[in-house]
Amino acid sequence: MVEARQETLGLRTLEDISGLILHSHDLQETLDNIVTLVARRMGSDVCSIYLLEDDGETLRLAATKGLSRSSVGKITMKTSEGLTGLVMEQKGVVAIEDAPAHPRYKYFRETKEEKFLSFLGIPLFERKTPVGVIVVQTKETRVFTPAEISTITTIAYQIASIVINAKLLDSIRRKEEERAFFQQELERMKAAGLLKEDRGSSTRRKKGRQHFSLIGIAASPGFCWGKIYLLNQRTNLPGMELETALPREEEHKRFLVALEKTKIQTLYMEKRVADMLSKEDAVIFHTHLMIMEDRGFLGKVNDLIDGGTSAGQAVRKVVENYVQAFARMDDPYLRERSADMEDIGRRIIGALDGSERRERLREKRIIVARDIFPSDMATLDHDKILGIITEKGDVTSHAAIMARSLGIPAVLGLPDLLKQIGLRDEVIIDGNSGHIYINPDEKIRGEYERLQRDHGVRQRELEELRDLPAETTDGVRVSLKANIGLLSDIRVALANGAEGVGLYRTEFPFMTRKTFPSRAEQQDLYVKILEGFAGLPVNIRTLDIGGDKGLPYFTYPKEDNPFMGWRSIRVSLDQRDIFRDQLAGILLASPHGKASLMFPMVSGVDEIRTVKEILADVKADLERTGKPFDRSIRTGIMVELPAAVQIADLLAREVDYLSIGTNDLIQYTLAADRNNPKVKQYYDAYHPAILHSIKRVADAGRAAGKPVSLCGEMAAEPINALLLLGLGITDFSLSAPYIPLVKQAIRKTSLASAREMAMTVLTMESSRDIRAYLAERQAELEI
C-alpha cells in the first residue's frame, strides 16, 4: 500500500516537473522551481542542486531551497571534498542520519548549514555523463526510506537531462552567429569567382583517396571541413526479440514509465527549442508528443501487451506498422514523418531497456550516415558535429530542421554515399550550394583555411569594440539596441554591447506556450526582461500575431490574405481582454526598469487614439488597485505600413516616438511577401520608394520633435546603417550579433559623408544603380 502511494508520489512529481519545465523560461528558473518542489514534496528543510563544472571535478551550488540564496553560484567544492563530493565520487546514493559526525562532512559558513543533520545526496547522471548532485537535508535526524530515495532518483534523471539539454541549446546561439559570418563570406568568395560551382556535374569516385565532389540537397547552410565519423548504421528498430514478457501489469507499468520519461524528455526539448529558436523548430517535438499521446497509438501498444507481448516488442511492432504506412505516402513531407515515428520508437524502447546505444564523438567530426534522426541531433555532442552528410532525408526532415537550428551545415540526399566514402576521407561541406568535396584539393582547402583565419581575427577585433561607443568620426552618437524575443536573448544582446532593446517581440514567448499567459505571468516575464537589462531602455511591442506568426491555442479565421488580414494591432483591438491583460502586465512590470510601449501595424490616427483610450482605461483600473506602475510610460508606434508613412506627421503628434519597421514596410510598399522566395527580387530594401519613405518619416519626426528609430533587419548590414544614418536615423535596433559590425562601420565614418551618400542615393532612380553605388562605397570604406 505504502509502495503504491509512493509510486503515485513519484509519477505526480514527474508530472509536476514537466509542468515546471513548461512554465519556466530558462535553466535557472527551472532548477529553482525544482528545488522548491522537491523540498515541499519531501517535507525537507533543504533541497539543493550542485552542478559539475566543465573541468569535471568542481561542483558548484546552482539552486537551493533552504540554504542561503546568496551562496548560489558561489559555493564550490571539489568532488574529493565534502559529502556532496562523496556522492559524485561514489556515483551513488549517500544517505546519512548525522551528517556533521561524518568524516567527509565539510562546513560552509555561507550556507549557514550547521542546523542540518540528515543528508541525502543522489548523483545526477545523463546516461553515463556525470552532471551534478541533488541534496536533501533536514534539521531533525531522519532515515530516508527506499521509496523516498527512488522518488528523488527519478527526479535526478529529469534534472540531468534538463541540464544537458540546456547546455546543448546554449551553444545553438554561438553556432548561429558563426554561421551568419561563414554564409556571408562564402557568398563573397563565390561572387569573386574563388569558389567554382560545377552545378549538375558530380565527379564520381575512382580508386584510392581521390578528390571528388558530389551534389546533394542543401539542407542546412554553412561551410565546414573535417574528418568523418560513420554513425552507427541501423537498418531496423532495435530487435527486442529476446525480451520475455513479465506479467501484464508489470509490462503496462514499464511501458507507462518509459513513455512518461520519453514524454518529459520531449516536452523539455520542445519548450527549450521554442524558447531559444523558433516555434518552427520546436514543432518537431510537439508532433512527437502528440503521437505519444495519441489514443490509437497507445491503444495498439496496450492491446498487444494485454495479449501477452512484452512492452518493448509491442512498441516495436506498432511503430513498424506506422513507419511502413508513412513510407508509402505520396506526399514527401508525410513520407519524411516515418523517420520521426522510428525515432519515437527508438527512444521509448531505449527508455524501456536502458540499452540505447549512445554514439560518442571524441573529436570534431563530420557525421556520415544513412539517415539521421532528431534524437541523434539531441544526444550527440553537437559541439563536436562539424557537419552532416546523409544518403536519405530532405530539407523537410526534422533532423535537417534541427541542423539548421544548431547552425550545423548539412547536405542530405546523397545516394550511395556510404559506398563511395572511406573512413580516412576528409570532406568539405558547402551547405549553401549542396556540394561536398571529398579530399578537397589545395585550392579549395586554402580558401577554407583563409575563411577560418579571417573569422578569428575579425571576432577579436569586434570583441574589442564592445564597450566603445557607436560614434561617428565627427562626434555624432548613434544608439545601437537589440531586437529580442526571448529571455535567452538578454545575454546575447549584452554580450554584443547592445544599449538596450529597441524591439521586444512579445509574441515570441506567447508562441511557445500552451495557453495565453495570464496577466501575472506576463508581468513576471517582463520584469525579468527589464531587470536583465538593468535600467537600459526596453521597448516592449504589444502582440504582433497573425500573418505568419500563429499561436497554437488561438483560432484564426481562414483568410485568403493573412498578411493583409486580421493581424497585429487589429487582433488586439478586437480581443480587448487579451490586449488589456498585456498592457496591465507591462505596466505592472514597468517599475523594474525603463520600459516603453510600442504598437505594431498602426495604419491611422483613429486606431492609435483607440489604443490610447484603452491604455488610459487600464491605467485607471490599476490606479484603483494601488499597485505601482509608470504612469507616464512612453508610447510609440511602428511605422511599417505605407499609410503610416504618408501620415507620419499626423501620427507623430499622437505618440512619443516612431519606429520604422522596414521588414513589413518593404513587403507592403512593394507588394512582395517577405517570406516568398519567388518574389525575392521584388522585396528590395534599395527600391527608391523605400528609401524616400524612410527619409519622409525621419523628416516628419524631426519636424514634430519626436524621435524616430528603425528596427527592421535592414540596419544589420553596415553599409545600410550608414545610408540610414545619412537619411536621418541615429537610433537603430537590430539582431544583436550584428551590432559590433555596424558599430565598426559607424566609427569609421563621419555623419557628413553618410549624408552625402544618402543624398546621392536619393537622386538615383533604380535600385540596381543604388546597389552598385553602395557596393563601391562599401569597398572604399572596407566595411
Q: Which residues bind ligand PEP (CB under 6 A)?
A: 503, 505, 544, 640, 661-664, 711-712
Q: Are 265 and 284 in contact (CB under 8 A)?
A: no
As measured in angstroms, the least distance from the Cβ of 672 to ligand PEP is 13
Q: How far is the CB of 599 from Mg ion (least distance, A)?
A: 11
Asked if 387 interacts with Mg ion (CB under 5 A), we say no
Nearer to ligand PEP, 365 or 505 (CB): 505
User: How near is the Cβ of 485 to Mg ion at its closest, in Å?
Assistant: 13
- Of 32 and 640, nearer to Mg ion (C-beta) is 640
Which positions from 661 through 700 interact with Mg ion, judged by CB under 5 A? 661, 664
Left, alpha or beta for 304 (phi > 0: left; psi -120 to 50: alpha)? alpha
Report the half-sphere exposure of 755 (CA within 13 A, side-chain side): 8
Residue 509 touches which member of ligand PEP, Mg ion, none, C-beta under 5-8 Å by kind: none
Residue 503 interaction partner, one of Mg ion, ligand PEP, none, beta carbon < 5-8 Å per kind: ligand PEP
For Mg ion, the closer CB: 262 or 542: 542
Residue 221: how many other CB atoms lie within 10 Å? 21
Closest contact distance (angstroms) between CB of 546 and Mg ion is: 11
Of 337 and 505, which CB lies nearer to ligand PEP in the complex structure? Answer: 505
Cα–Cα nearest to 375, from 232, 501, 257:
232
Check if the beta carbon of residue 389 is closer than 8 Å to that of residue 429.
Answer: yes
Contact set for Mg ion, span 593-652 (CB under 5 A): 640
| DSSP state, residue 513 | S
Residue number, 99 or 660, with CB nearest to Mg ion = 660
* Residue 659 CB, nearest approach to ligand PEP (Å): 8
DSSP letter for each residue of 696-742:
HHHHHHHHHT--EEE-SGGGGSHHHHHHHHHTT--EEEE-GGGHHHH
CB nearer to ligand PEP: give 156 or 492: 492
- Largest pairwise CA distance in the chain: 85
Query: What is the C-alpha end-to-end distance of the chain, expressed in Å?
Result: 73
Q: Which of 288, 382, 398, 592 is catalytic?
A: 398
Q: How far is CA 361 from CA 55, 160, 380, in A?
A: 18, 20, 7
List all residues 6 or more positions away from 620 whose beta carbon is below 8 Å from its beta carbon.
none
Pairing of strands 365-369, 385-390: parallel
When CB distances are held under 5 to 8 angstroms depending on the partner's kind, the choice from Mg ion, ligand PEP, none that residue 712 binds is ligand PEP
What does 749 bind: ligand PEP, Mg ion, none (CB cut-off 5 to 8 Å by kind)?
none
- Check if 398 is active-site: yes
CA pseudo-torsion sign 178, 182, 183, 188 = positive
Give whichever of 158 and 483 is closer to ligand PEP, judged by the CB atom. Answer: 483
630 binds, among ligand PEP, Mg ion, none (CB under 5 to 8 A by kind): none
* Residue 711 interacting entry, from Mg ion, ligand PEP, none, C-beta within 5 to 8 Å by type: ligand PEP
Beta carbon of residue 544, minimum distance to ligand PEP (angstroms, whole number): 5
The nearest distance, CB 600 to Mg ion, in angstroms, is 6
Q: What would the grid cell of residue 427 be?
A: 570532406
Name the active-site residue from 47, 224, 687, 711: 711
Q: What are phi and psi of 491, to 5 degrees?
A: -60, -45
Q: Which residue's C-beta sits nearest to ligand PEP?
A: 661
> Rg for the chain (alpha carbons), in Å?
29
Burial call 186-204: b when 16+ CB within 10 Å, e when fewer: beebeeeeebeeeeeeeee
Q: How far is the CB of 601 from ligand PEP (least distance, A)?
A: 8
CB nearest Mg ion: which residue? 664
Choose between 22 and 672: whose C-beta lies nearer to ligand PEP.
Answer: 672
Q: Does 507 bind Mg ion (CB under 5 A)?
A: no
CA dist 783 and 779 (Å) reads 7
Binding site for Mg ion (CB under 5 A): 640, 661, 664
For the annotated catalytic residues, the residue numbers are 398, 711
